[in-house]
Amino acid sequence: MLYRIYNSESGDLLGEITEAELSSLTRFLEEESAEDRDYYITTDTIDYLETSGADAALIALLRQAVGAGEGVEIRWARA
């Protein structure tokens, strides 16, 4: 199953990730509730995910989403 990652503010589709990549994202990042599907991603967050063993494709997608900015609010949804 694929999941889509969106920029929460603009609604733009950032890319698709696999179930394993979503598992990495949700396992390593704090969720406020069981229904939480939003994360604020910074370069520090991406570095943490990378050193924790997250998939390289997920890391690349997140780095592209943050770009030169300070961070980006993302959300995921089933494709």
Residues of the chain with pLDDT under 70: 30-36
> DSSP string covering 11-71, please?
--EEEEEEHHHHHHHHHHS--SSTT--EEEEEHHHHHHHHHTT--HHHHHHHHHHHTTSSE
Specify the pTM: 0.86
Q: What was the pLDDT predicted at 25?
A: 87
pLDDT at position 35: 65
**What was the pLDDT predicted at 49?**
93
